[in-house]
Structure 1
């Protein structure tokens, strides 16, 4: 199941309040500015900073490449 467009339109990183990228195939919302991934469990985004995964450089580059090649848009524009 995918997250609804209405929900995505209001989701922001709880730490820097910026937009996220919804990587549906990996069930996560990604903040490339902080290299932080917020997991989605049972179709519910877990938007707690202390529950987020901070990614290493290789995983960050992989996700950014995936986002760019898939044309994934941010949840909102600043």
Structure 2
């Protein structure tokens, strides 16, 4: 489980919005960009190139840039 203090300061590297963990703390979600970042062994992988589009979403505010 991710440290609550770490969650308070983590932000999406693309838009700077706060990210939200899933129930099992395996993913961090950015609702604005419609992407998720994986968490490996309590270490968030917050690289834009490693972001995955959230399944079932239409797109991202960054599309077209």
TM-score normalised by L of structure 2: 0.78
Query: Which of the two has greater helix per residue?
Result: 1
Q: Indicate the structure whose relative CO is greater, using CA pairs within 8 Å and at least 6 residues apart.
A: 1
Q: How many residues align?
A: 57
Q: Which moved more, 1:6-15 or 1:18-27?
A: 18-27
Is residue 10 of structure 1 aligned with residue 9 of structure 2?
Answer: yes
| Cα distance per residue 1:17-56 (max 9 Å; x no partner) | 0011111325000011111000001110000010010123
Which sections of structure 1, spanning at least 5 residues, go unmatched?
A: 61-78
| Segments of 4+ moved more than 2 angstroms | none
Which sections of structure 2, spanning at least 5 residues, go unmatched?
A: 58-65
Q: Any residues of structure 2 matched to 1:1-78 within 5 Å, and which?
A: 2-25=1-24, 27-57=26-56, 60=57
Distance 1:49 1:12 in 2: 12
